[in-house]
Amino acid sequence: MRYMKGIQGIYTPNVGTFELRKAICHKLEEENGISYTPDQILVSNGAKQSVLQGLLDVCSSGDEVIIPGPFYVSYPEMARMADANPAFAMTSWRLRYLAGPTHFVQASGKIQSQATSGASSISQKAGVAALGLGYARGEIVGFGR
């Protein structure tokens, strides 16, 4: 492989180069008004890598990882790789049950009111069953029933 001027080697530090982390700190300060130091920044190849590394770092055997739906099909397997048990939370702006930052949830509500007249009967029945207050597989389900 041809040597590239100014490059120290093929591999970079796992946390990202100091130069990039310093540039990220500058961007966050200038554009977002938040202050970090390069040692507080971690550069990754994407969200899935960060999610997996986070799960591997914080989960203990038998922990429960709540995965809000809809989700990427790899998320339950990531929890299992961390020796944790995936648990699923049905979320949907159509059901008016959504997890996220307040400004995002409020914006989703505005979009929902313009995008659809209401949640489909299938998703509403699924929501009732997921909450344990209706029918599932022909059986009545509910709290204390």
pLDDT in tens, 69-122: 778 899 999 999 999 999 988 776 556 667 677 877 777 766 655 454 455 556
Same domain, 57 and 101: no
- Tell me whether the omega of the peptide bond preceding residue 70 falls within 30 degrees of 0, making it cis: yes
Same domain, 30 and 66: no
Same domain, 115 and 74: no
Same domain, 96 and 131: yes
Please say which residue of 12, 27, 43 terminates a domain. 43
Same domain, 66 and 99: no
Q: What would the mean pLDDT of 7-36 be, rounded to a whole number?
A: 85
Please say which residue of 10, 26, 43 terminates a domain. 43
Sign of the alpha-carbon torsion through 112, 114, 115, 117: positive
Domain range for 122: 92-145
Same domain, 103 and 139: yes
Same domain, 53 and 37: no
Alpha helices in 18-120 (DSSP H): 18-27, 47-58, 74-81, 102-115
C-alpha 134/C-alpha 126 separation (Å) is 9
Please state whether the predicted TM-score (pTM) of the whole model is above 0.85: no
Question: Could you give the number of structural domains in the chain?
Answer: 3
Same domain, 33 and 56: no
Q: What is the dihedral of CA 135, 85, 68, 137, to 10 degrees?
A: -10
Same domain, 73 and 27: no
Kindly tell me if the per-residue pLDDT of 145 is higher than 50: no
Task: Measure Cα distances from 76 to 4, 92, 97, 129, 135 in Å.
Answer: 41, 18, 21, 21, 25
Same domain, 108 and 145: yes
Same domain, 133 and 107: yes
First to last CA, the chain: 69
Same domain, 100 and 126: yes
Percent of the chain exceeding pLDDT 90 equals 29
